[in-house]
Structure 1
């Protein structure tokens, strides 16, 4: 069976990368290799993405000491962690949920991408995987975590970005995006670049460059059939998480991409709702060592 749905195939064709996507599809597995199992069980965070019961798509983060993720079978995991009550996916995970996931280790620039179905348990989640594959280390900023237990604060909900949200976005070098396909299957993906690569164009409008990736176009393929998306922007120093839900559109105009160094395409995101939870994560991270693959950022009057 083709591992790609018709949205992914359409985007691969439009990008002229159909054969490349076919070639890399062999990396997609249904069972967890031993080396991947060892990596997953060493992690302290698991980025997730899912749609809630209103169809809004969100991304969030589960964290725990190494070992909080356990490989329980050839295609199954258990996760001993829960989201705070103020997290936008807290209620969603109380029911069986199609989940996209990334186990990511910034300190070594390694990540495993997974998709499956999560079911709640007394201690967290039991997850049956349908797909698992490694992603390349491009655009991951190298950081080392420290554990600092802290109680999440009350969430702040809004329909547009406030000044503190804009300040976080302007300084960020990493965010995560969740999407779903036409059947509700969820995906979570990483985006990275030098600070400024995620641009605030207005209180409800973000834009970012799409850099060279793995040619699978899982995110773009989902957006082709369902424009709803969720972004999660971490504050690496305070543990705060900014969750955004809305719609994303891929801009294929080559002139627009040419204005942003390294961009193959441009993505525009419209914010419909946001939830900010300060102290949401117990992880605090060292200052980043930026990826050598990060393209420079265009500013008025030049580049950095």
Structure 2
């Protein structure tokens, strides 16, 4: 593929970070279809993560799950979502947003093996199901993923906690939604040691940007479109915190209240909306270990 696959925002951050050459080397992994191994991996995942955009242009990150067959491949360039097999919250904002037939980003991540795969495309209603046209599909490295084993939990969960600072103090994993100026969406993973996100105040979080694949899909989107969504999952009971707002990117600073692992990059998340809910049912996990790549 040629270097034109990256948009202006991605190119800007690549150049400012001195990683443009590495980004061009890595772009060859991006395709508009799924190889057999990727299909098997995706269809074996019990949960996955999605980004969507509402009518106001705000972006959201969500977690979805369903019975076997909830998500399946239909030809090399399309995935099919069957809402009849949904097992996560039917009230998630994702289902309202996709009625607009806009872009969608998907992230499949197997916490136990630290494997992950991203699919970006466009979603359309079709005979009671949802067809996702694959525009970009590519694997991601295992860095910063904390290993967990997903297990069933048939006990009742308490109401979701509604204290932002408490959620941030306990978080070692978040999921970030972003979009470019054309409404093309992406959702990515960010991980670190417990409390790696700095709580600044009730409207501001500070997230470090560690060494990655040099493509800067998320920060590149933020450069041209500051709309940002953030999802935190309580892996003990399936409760979630969804936030939507704006991102302010810092490419060459090292503040005292966040560790960037030497990149001198971070972004401030300005919160405009928040939703606390029970997104996953009969859900829990067993923590195994932190990533050895965490700064």
Structure 1 residues 62 and 121: alpha-carbon distance in aligned structure 2, compared to 1, 3 A threshold: farther
Q: Which runs of 5+ in 1 are unaligned?
A: 157-161, 296-304
Q: TM-score, normalised by structure 1?
A: 0.88
Q: SS where residue 31 of structure 2 aligns?
A: coil
Distance 1:248 1:58 in 2: 13
Partner of residue 18, structure 1: 20
Distance 2:256 2:22 in 1: 21
Root-mean-square deviation (CA, aligned residues, Å) is 2.3
Partner of residue 9, structure 2: 7
Partner of residue 218, structure 2: 219
Partner of residue 50, structure 1: 52
Deviations 1:158-202 (A, max 9, x none): xxxx86332122111100000000100000000000001011110
C-alpha contact 2:209 2:260 (8 A) present in aligned 1: no
Q: TM-score, normalised by structure 2?
A: 0.91
- Equivalent positions of 1:1-304 (< 5 A) are 1=2, 2-81=4-83, 82=86, 84-121=89-126, 124-148=129-153, 164-256=163-255, 260=259, 262-264=261-263, 265-278=265-278, 280-295=280-295
C-alpha contact 2:198 2:257 (8 A) present in aligned 1: no
Deviations 1:125-150 (A, max 9, x none): 22110110000000011111123478
Q: Which runs of 5+ in 2 are unaligned?
A: none
C-alpha contact 2:102 2:183 (8 A) present in aligned 1: no
Distance 2:140 2:213 in 1: 7
Structure 1 residues 17 and 76: alpha-carbon distance in aligned structure 2, compared to 1, 3 A threshold: same
Structure 1 residues 49 and 151: alpha-carbon distance in aligned structure 2, compared to 1, 3 A threshold: farther
Number of positions where the alignment pairs a residue of Structure 1 with one of Structure 2: 289
User: Which moves more between the two structures, 80-89 or 39-48?
Assistant: 80-89
Distance 1:258 1:99 in 2: 33
Structure 1 residues 284 and 66: alpha-carbon distance in aligned structure 2, compared to 1, 3 A threshold: farther
Deviations 1:242-294 (A, max 9, x none): 00000011112334389625141111101001011125444311124111111
Distance 1:278 1:78 in 2: 25
Distance 1:31 1:226 in 2: 27
Distance 1:214 1:116 in 2: 20
